[in-house]
Amino acid sequence: MIVVNPNSTSSPPQEDAAPSATAAPISPAAPSATAPAHGASVAGSGSDDARRRAHAFRSGADRQFHGWAETYDRSLLNTFLFRPAYLALLGEIAEWCGGEPKPFRLLDIGCGTGSFAALVASADWPARITALDFVPSMCRKARDKAERVRPDRPADVVNADSEHLPFADGSFDVVTCSNSFHHYPHQDAVVGEMRRVLAPGGRLVLIDGFRDNAVGWFVFDVIIQRIEKNVHHAPWSLVRRLFEQAGFVGVRQRKINLLMPLLVTVGEAPAPPSEASHADGTPV
């Protein structure tokens, strides 16, 4: 008998099919850091102990994903987990664009070997693409892939920490992050940084394992936790709260995928208020 403890007091998001899109085979996104074990606090801590744990988690992620860099693109998880996530990201970007080929600046956090960035580039959207990862070997793979897919305009690949994004405020119109959020030691800090680098009216699309039903709990809190050790798949209610605390508006969530369920959370950076006017139409 499996006892499910979703750490949530309200109903989870409803099942929803992933948006349809045409995509080449894709690879998983690598993390830019690792996270505390399930049940540990995700809030940033100033204690020496918390800093030591975060350093240990990041060091472990670097070693783990450096070893996986050569095999990531051949993983069977591409079909069952990462492809549905990437299709959902594409659908959200298309919806945000409103069917118009308007230029936009995209940041993909935890880019791994750069498959999603390459997918966006191959779609020939007028996007300036930046891909970021914590692991240098993943970044090297991502750079090679970017140059093969769009040699005329390859994506920028940045080796950096998701908790300290090396970009100015409002640098991007769309920020994406898929299948890496559970590796971040201070998830609230990461969401705050995502909000900071988004321009007004920009969109964040975050996808990670949905662990709030029996299937997701077993996959992510039992199997993945045992394999990857220091990870934390946050309950859907916590992810929503982190978005709202960071200042996102219009937050919405849905669950996709069946055997390996995923949580899609979308938030908007508030647009500047429209200029007020008098009854005769003159500005206030």
Q: What is the pTM of this model?
A: 0.74
Of the pLDDT bands very low, low, confident and very high (cuts 50, 70, 90), residue 8 is very low
Type of residue found at 186: H
- Mark 17-44 as b/e (b = at least 16 C-beta within 10 Å): ebbebebeebbbbbbbbbbbebeeebeb
Q: What is the pLDDT of residues 102-124, one digit of tens each?
A: 899 999 999 999 999 999 998 87
Residue with the two structure tokens 């709030």: 212
Phi/psi at 85 (5° precision): -65, -45
> For position 14, what pLDDT does the model report?
59
Give which of 159, 164, 185, 133 is closest to 29, Cα–Cα.
133
DSSP assignment letter at 277: B
Whether the CA torsion 175, 180, 182, 186 is positive or negative: it is: negative
Residue 77 has pLDDT above 80, yes or no: no
Characterize the bridge pairing of strands 104-109 and 172-178: parallel
The H helix count followed by the E strand count for the chain is 9, 7
Give dist(CA 216, CA 272) in Å, integer: 38
List 175's β-bridge partners, or say none: 107, 204
Residue 85 has pLDDT above 80, yes or no: yes
Residue ranges of the domains in the chain?
Answer: 48-268
CA–CA distances in Å: residue 34 to residues 37, 61, 269: 10, 6, 26
Residue 194 has pLDDT above 90, yes or no: yes
> For position 188, what pLDDT does the model report?
97
Residue 3 has pLDDT above 60, yes or no: no
Alpha helices in the chain (DSSP H): 48-68, 77, 83-97, 115-122, 136-149, 187-197, 214-216, 225-228, 236-246
> Token digits for 276?
């007020």
**CATH topology classification for 48-268:** Rossmann fold (3.40.50)
Give dist(CA 256, CA 51) in Å, integer: 34
Under 8 Å CB-to-CB from 280, ≥6 apart: which residues? none
Q: Name the percent of the chain lying above pLDDT 90.
A: 57
What is the helix (H) or strand (E) element at residue 264, kind and residue range?
Answer: strand 262-268
List 203's β-bridge partners, or say none: 174, 268
Q: What is the pLDDT of residues 18-33, one digit of tens each?
A: 333 333 322 333 333 3
